[in-house]
A = this chain, B = another copy of it.
Amino acid sequence: MSMNGAEALVETLFRSGVDTCFANPGTSEMQLVAAIDGQYGMRAILGLFEGAVTGMADGYGRMADKPAITLLHLGPGLANGLANLHNARRAGSPVINVVGDHATYHLQYNSPLTSDLAGVARPMSDWLKASISERDLPQAGAEAYAAAMHYPGRIATLAVPANHAWTEGSSPAAPAALSAAPQSPDAAITDAAAALREAHGPTALFLGGRALREGALEQAGRIAAATGARLICETFTARLQRGAGRVAVERLPYFGEQGAEYLKDMKAIVFCGCEPPVSFFAYPGKPSWLSPEGARLVRLASMDEDTENALTRLADALNAPAEPALVQAAAVPAADVTGPLDPTKIAAIVAALMPDNAIVSDEAATAGLMIFPATAGAPKHDWMMLAGGAIGQGLPLAAGAAVACPDRKVIALQADGSGMYTLQALWTMARENLDVTTLILNNGSYAILNIELMRVGVQNPGPKALSMLDLRNPALDWVQMSEGLGVPARRATTAEELREALAEALAHKGPRLVEAIL
């Protein structure tokens, strides 16, 4: 059967294992749209803005551990998706961007939408290729899949000139061989074991990336049992498996000086799935590097090495017991709170209502800070955070996770300011009837920036400065916005109202939004 390039590409991607496409196409992608239409096994999910599309692909990738494709329109469409690709990349999510380009012969005319597509892609792509003709396009797709599946997950961007998509005479390529996750060298195991054994004082495992999955944490808990090492995770984790019955980790505080204080007594820090802790931002006179001077630092496994394997080998090298330490007991704070909302009451209510096996997309920022500790002993769940720091991730991440895991409840904890970046994701939740309960924490402010303004040394900020951090004039009405986007919504100003509205939303299978006013 004769296929055009688009059909052969989509067939190749499907045979490789891709069955989900998050799309915001334009004219140059119409052949790809038609090819996806013709591929019975490929689900197509429309996003109304590319930042929502790439954020959904990130959420899908984090939960499915395999890539969806995004379908994006030329350089400017890809540009709109870059910030959430930055987050996906930092999270180690597998994503394949399929970006239409002008027909190769059309580029010389520099028509209005022409831009440097490769230049736009490069800063946020681990792998980047454009097809040379309709004949190599499917092979490039197979390579993109293998690149995205590079452990733990990478961003692969494939530019597809429109004429390669529409030209007949192509045929599917065989799926590419996937490489196994690289393993830590034996020396890393030996060094880490020695560092933990020989330290004259407290030690810690500093864990990130795939080291925060249940199986890896089980091994970390064995190491803790053998050595007394504390288990500390990155402040912003891609996907942390936690809750009652799982090995618990402490979370490094956000502000650099607090992080440094937190670690100051450590004599050895073994890091696994991440690099040593550093502060998120620089501040005058405050540390960027957070490990104490003189502490022994050992890389057990980088983000790109098999963390569970490395932790297992280390536990065995330490003759650790089979049973892990630090297993979390079931426990949540008392939820019989009443009256006007504050972060502590919100946290208690969320923790009390969290169903088993939930997925949490946490972009709650300051107003939600108490929810993470309050849910430590809630039923087991996956907790996803802003691994790359580019706000506007939370709502699409939740939507993408719900696509990947249709049988699990997804809870989006969303601050108002960052939620505004990609609120279009609510529409996709409605369209696909995704089982996402969104809790908007509306404090009418970029609250974190009021703190940061002081921390960088600004004294007595004036009204103009403060106005740039303020969202109250006019107030954002998330109930109206949500319903305008098709997601039924309620507002809560008291603990009683929040408990009732959140319980109702969680009991419903499908999208709901609750706006909590602080």
Using a CB–CB cutoff of 8 Å, the interface residues on chain A facing chain B are 23, 25-28, 30-31, 33-34, 36-38, 44, 46, 48-49, 51, 75-77, 79-80, 82-83, 86-87, 90, 102-103, 105-106, 109-113, 115-116, 119-120, 122-124, 162-163, 166, 236, 275, 278-282, 284, 288-289, 386-390, 392, 417, 420-421, 424, 427, 430-431, 448-449, 452-453, 455-458, 461-465, 467-471, 473-486
Cα distance A192–B454 when bound, in Å? Answer: 62
Q: With A25-B449, A27-B281, A278-B109 known to touch, is A83 a contact of B86 (CB < 8 Å)?
A: no
Q: With A457-B166, A474-B431 known to touch, is A38 a contact of B86 (CB < 8 Å)?
A: no
- Can you add 16 more A-B contacts, CB < 8 Å, to A30-B449, A30-B453? A33-B458, A33-B465, A33-B468, A44-B468, A76-B86, A76-B388, A79-B79, A79-B86, A109-B289, A111-B288, A112-B386, A116-B123, A119-B122, A120-B123, A431-B474, A484-B484
Whether A417 contacts B48 by the Cβ 8 Å rule is: yes
Q: With A112-B389, A115-B86, A163-B282 known to touch, is A486 a contact of B474 (CB < 8 Å)?
A: yes
CB-based nearest B residue for A104: B282
Pick the 5 closest A-B CB pairs, nearest first: A474-B486, A480-B484, A76-B390, A103-B282, A37-B465
Q: List B contacts of A31 (CB < 8 A).
A: 456-458
Whether B82 contacts A112 by the Cβ 8 Å rule is: no
- How many copies make up the complex? 2
Contact of A474 among B163, B427, B467 (CB under 8 A): B427
Whether B427 contacts A476 by the Cβ 8 Å rule is: yes
Q: With A115-B124, A453-B33, A456-B30 known to touch, is A477 a contact of B473 (CB < 8 Å)?
A: no
Q: How far is the CB of A436 from chain B (nearest CB, A)?
A: 15
Q: How far is the CB of A268 from chain B (nearest CB, A)?
A: 20
CB-based nearest B residue for A477: B484
Q: How far is the CB of A10 from chain B (nearest CB, A)?
A: 12
Contact of A34 among B46, B280, B458, B473 (CB under 8 A): B458
Cα distance A16–B314 when bound, in Å? Answer: 62
Whether B468 contacts A25 by the Cβ 8 Å rule is: yes
Whether A36 contacts B465 by the Cβ 8 Å rule is: yes
